[in-house]
Amino acid sequence: MQLALNDDQTQVLDFVEALARPFVSAPLHDAGLALESAELDAALVENGFLDVMAVEELGPVTAALVVEKLARLPFAVEAAVSALVRPLIGPDLPRPLCLVEEGRLSAPLRFLRPGATVVVVGPGGVNSFTASEDMIAPAQEDTLYAYPVAFLKGVPGDVTMHDADPAEVTRAWRVAMAAEAAGLLGAALASVVTYVSERKQFGRPLATFQAMRHRLAEAQVVTNTAYWLAMRAAASGTRADAAMALLHAQEAARRVCYDYHQFLGGMGMTLEHPLHLWTYRLKLLTAELGGRGGQGLAAAEALWG
Amino acid sequence: MQFEWTEDQDAFRQQIRDFLHANLPDGWEKFSEHGPASPALTAFARSFCVTLADAGLLFPHWPRDMGGEGLGPWEQQILSEEMWIAGEPRGGQYMNVNWIGPTLEKYGTAAQKARYLEPITRGESLWCQGFSEPDAGSDLASLRTRAVLKDGRYVINGQKIWTSYAGLADTCFLLTRTSDDRKKGITIVLVPMDTPGITVRQIPSLIGEGDIHEVFFDDVTVPETARFGDEGQAWEIVAYSLRNERLGIPRFTLARAALDRAVAMLKERGDFVREHVRIEAARCAALCEGAGTANYAVVQKRVDGLAIGAESSSARYATVMAERAVCEFVVEFLPEALAGASPYLKMHHQRGIVAGIAAGSAEIQLNIIASDVLELPREPR
C-alpha cells in the first residue's frame, strides 16, 4: 500500500499542469455550451501524455491521474478512452475514439466527427471503423452536454475486428469514465466553493450558511472517494473495482450536480459561469454503460457471481 | 501509488487470523452479540488480551522503546481490521492500544507512565472516556464537570453521560473544567473508578448491554498528581487523541464483511437474483471500498510522518455513509437477521448504527470538512 504519488507521477502531473495552464480559464460569453480546444489536444498528443499507460514505470494509474487532471479543465479533451482503453484495442487507432455498446448505437457519442474511430463493443467481440461524414448526424446545435456530441446514422459493412477481450475492454472503459468523472467532480466542487465563498446575501457569504456547508461537505466526501476508487480500479485491473468505481462516480454525479446548480441560483443557469461545463459532462457520463444499474449489476456479478 | 499489501503485511494479517482461529472459542459469533462493552465480553477480553500480549499481538505497532515491535501504522490498521471484523474480542481494550497508550507516552508524567502503561501492555486494564455531559455533547467545550484544586487535591463534581465501559473500567480519562475559559479551561484528570463518590448507572440501549452509562461525580477527590498534562491543556491532548481514535475503528471492514455475509444468506435462499437487490448490494460495496481507500489515504499520511488533518473527518464520514447503507440493506432485504437469523449481522447492526455518533458526530465532521478541507468562510458565532 503506497497511496502517495511517486516521483514519476508527480513529474508527469507537473508537466500536464504546465501544459494546461493556458487552458484553465473558460472564455466567457463567447463560449458555446460545449467547449474544446484543438490546440490543447495537439499539445497532449505531441508530448505523449495520452500514451503514458504503455510506459512501464508509469502504467494505468498514471494514465488515470492524467485523465483526472485533464477532466478538471473547462475544455473537453478526448483523453480518457485514448489513454486507458486504446492500448488494449490498438495503440495506433486514429483519435478521437468513440466507444459504443453494441445495441446502443443510437446513443449520443462524445467526440464523434469525421475521421474519429468508432469502437463497437459487444459480447461477441470488439470492432471498429473510421467515421465518415455520411455516417454522422449532428446533434442539435444547443445540445446541453458540454461535450461535442453527434449520432451515428449507420454502421459500415466492413469493420475491423480486434483481437481484444470485450470484457476487458469494458473494464478499462469503466476505469476511464471513472477517472474522468473524478476530475469533473473535483472541478465542479472547486468552482462552486469559490462562488459561494464570494457571493454575499444577508450580509455574509452564502458558504457561511449551514444548509450549504453540510451538503458541500458531503459532496467533498463522495468526490474524494470517487477519486480513490478510480485510482484503485486503474491499479488493480479487476472488473469488480472498475464497476464499483464507475457506479460510485455516477452516484456521486447524480447527488451533486443538482446541488451545485441550486447553490449558484440564477448564475448556475447562465453560460456566464462555467459550472455547466463540468456538471453537464458528468450528466452524460451517468448514462455511460447502462448507468448506475449497469455498473451495479456488473459489480455484483464480479463480486459475488 | 499502489494499492497492494506487501508480502510481509499479508503474512501479518494471516498471523492474526490464525491467532483468532486458535483462540476464539466455539460459538464465538453468537457470544460476540453481547457487544464489546458487555460484562461477558469484557471478562473474555481480560483473558484474551493477556494471550494476545503473550503472542506479541496486543501492541505490535507501538515503538520499541514503548515495548512494541515497532511495526508501522499499516500493521496497526491490519490488526484493527481483523479484530473488528471478528467482533472486537479485545472489548474496550482496543482503546488502550490505539490511543490511550500513545497519549500517555506523549503527555504523561513518569509516574503516570509507570502506573498505567504496564497494565495496558499486559492486557489487564480497561479505561473509560469521560467526555460527554448531558449539556455538552457535540458542543464538548461547554462541559461543566468541575475540578477544584484544594490543598494539593482535586475535588471533582459533575456528571458524564454516554460513557462506554464505565461500569467495568478501572480508570477514567476524565475531562474537567478548572476555569471558565471555554477551551483553555478544560483539564484532564486520570481518575480510578473505585474512588469514593463515583456512581455509575447503566442506560439500556439499542447497541448492546453495558455500552452506555451515566457517571456521577460527587466530591470525588484525587491527588494533584492525577492531573494529565497542564491545566487547560485538555483540548490539545484530546485533539491529538481523537485523530488516532477517528482512524482507530476500521468500521468499513466490518460493514463490508457484513455485506458479504448478507449476500451469502440471500444467495443460499435463492434471493440474490433480483436486479434491484444486486444493484443495491453493489452500491453498498462501493461505499465500503470508497471509505476504505479514503481511510487508507489518511493512514498513508501517518506512515509518511505528516500531520493528519481534516481529511480524517472526510474518511470518517465516508465510513458513516457505508455503515448506514449496509445497515439499511440488511434491514430491507434480510429483516430476519436482526431477529435471530444472524448473530453476526445483528452484531454489525448494533455497532454500525452508532458510527455517526460515537467519537464526534457526523455533523461535526461535516463542519470540519467545510471549514478545513473546503476552506469555506466560517459560520458566524
Report chain B's mean pLDDT, rounded to a whole number.
94
On the question of pLDDT at A303 being above 90, the answer is yes
Question: What pairing do the DSSP bridges indicate for beta strands B153-161 and B213-223?
Answer: antiparallel
Single-letter residue type at A133: E
Gap from B270 CA to chain A (nearest CA, Å): 13
Inter-chain touch A213–B4, beta carbons under 8 Å: no
Report chain A's mean pLDDT, rounded to a whole number.
96
| Residues A51, A63: Cα–Cα separation, whole Å | 8
Please, which residues 63-102 of chain B have a Cβ atom closer than 8 Å to chain A?
74
User: Which residue from B153, B227, B152, B235 is spatially nearest to B191, judged by alpha carbons?
Assistant: B227
Domains of chain A: 166-304 (1.20.140.10)
Gap from B293 CA to chain A (nearest CA, Å): 6
CA atoms within 13 A on the CB side of A234: 32
Interhelix angle B311-333/A210-236, rounded to 10 degrees, is 80
Neighboring chain A residues of B272 at a CB cutoff of 8 Å: 304
User: Which residue from A25, A20, A33 is spatially nearest to A70, judged by alpha carbons?
Assistant: A20
CA atoms within 13 A on the CB side of B32: 25
What pTM did the predictor assign?
A: 0.95
Interface residue A188 vs chain B (CB under 8 A): no
Q: How many CB pairs under 8 A join A and B?
A: 169
Note whether B350 and B206 are within 8 A (CB): yes
Interface residue A214 vs chain B (CB under 8 A): yes
User: Which residue from B289, B251, B302, B294 is spatially nearest to B75, judged by alpha carbons?
Assistant: B302
| Residues A132, A139: Cα–Cα separation, whole Å | 16
Predicted pLDDT of residue A302: 98
| Residues B189, A14: Cα–Cα separation, whole Å | 50
Chain A: residue whose CA lies nearest to B266:
A304
Neighboring chain A residues of B304 at a CB cutoff of 8 Å: 4
Interface residue A38 vs chain B (CB under 8 A): no
Sign of CA dihedral B51, B53, B56, B58: positive
Q: Cis omega (within 30 of 0) on the bond before A96?
A: yes
| Residues A53, A82: Cα–Cα separation, whole Å | 10
What does each C-alpha distance from B189 to B101, B171, B218, B358 come to in angstroms?
15, 10, 15, 21
Neighbour-count burial for B269-307, b at 16+ CB within 10 Å, e otherwise: eeebeeeebbbbbbbbbbbbbbbbbbbbbbbbbbbeeee
pLDDT tens digits for range A251-288: 999 999 999 999 999 999 988 899 999 999 999 999 99
ipTM of this predicted structure: 0.97
Domains of chain B: 7-125 (1.10.540.10), 129-232 (2.40.110.10), 250-373 (1.20.140.10)
Share of chain A above pLDDT 90, in %: 92
3-state SS, residue A99: strand
pLDDT tens digits for range A36-72: 999 999 999 999 999 999 999 999 999 999 999 999 9
Please, which residues 7-26 of chain B have a Cβ atom closer than 8 Å to chain A?
9
Inter-chain touch A292–B285, beta carbons under 8 Å: no
Question: What pairing do the DSSP bridges indicate for beta strands B171-177 and B186-192?
Answer: antiparallel
Predicted pLDDT of residue A29: 61
| Residues A13, A7: Cα–Cα separation, whole Å | 10
Inter-chain touch B375–A193, beta carbons under 8 Å: yes
Gap from A269 CA to chain B (nearest CA, Å): 23
Note whether B295 and B250 are within 8 A (CB): yes
User: Which residue from A4, A156, A20, A127 is spatially nearest to A79, judged by alpha carbons?
Assistant: A20
Inter-chain touch B317–A221, beta carbons under 8 Å: yes
Predicted pLDDT of residue B248: 66
Q: Which three cell numbers stand for residue A290?
A: 447502462
Gap from A182 CA to chain B (nearest CA, Å): 13
Interface residue B281 vs chain A (CB under 8 A): yes
* Helices then strands, each counted (H, E), chain B: 13, 8
Interhelix angle B7-23/B39-54, rounded to 10 degrees, is 130
Interface residue B283 vs chain A (CB under 8 A): yes
Phi, psi at residue B211, to the nearest 5°? Answer: -90, -30
| Residues A221, B329: Cα–Cα separation, whole Å | 21
Helix (H) or strand (E) holding B155: strand B153-161
Nearest CB partner across the interface for B74, out of A1, A6, A220: A1
Inter-chain touch B4–A1, beta carbons under 8 Å: yes
The C-alpha angle with vertex B154 and arms to B149 and B157, in degrees rounded to 5, equals 105
Q: Which three cell numbers stand for residue B142?
A: 461547554
Nearest CB partner across the interface for B378, out of A208, A217, A303: A208
Q: Which three cell numbers stand for residue A280?
A: 453537464
Predicted pLDDT of residue A26: 83
Residues 6+ apart with CB under 8 A from B313: B246, B365, B366, B368, B369, B372, B373
pLDDT tens digits for range A196-212: 999 999 999 999 999 99
User: Which residue from A44, A24, A45, A26 is spatially nearest to A35, judged by alpha carbons?
Assistant: A26
Residues 6+ apart with CB under 8 A from B340: B346
- Scanning chain B, the segments in alpha helix (DSSP H) are 7-23, 28-31, 39-54, 73-85, 93-95, 101-107, 110-122, 234-248, 251-268, 275-303, 311-333, 343-352, 362-368
| Residues A209, B375: Cα–Cα separation, whole Å | 14
Neighboring chain B residues of A207 at a CB cutoff of 8 Å: 370, 376-377
Gap from B253 CA to chain A (nearest CA, Å): 15
Helix (H) or strand (E) holding B228: strand B227-228
User: Which residue from A184, A180, A206 is spatially nearest to A193, judged by alpha carbons?
Assistant: A206
Low-confidence ranges of chain B (pLDDT < 50): none
Nearest CB partner across the interface for A229, out of B2, B286, B375: B286
What is the mean predicted confidence (pLDDT) over A172-184?
Answer: 98
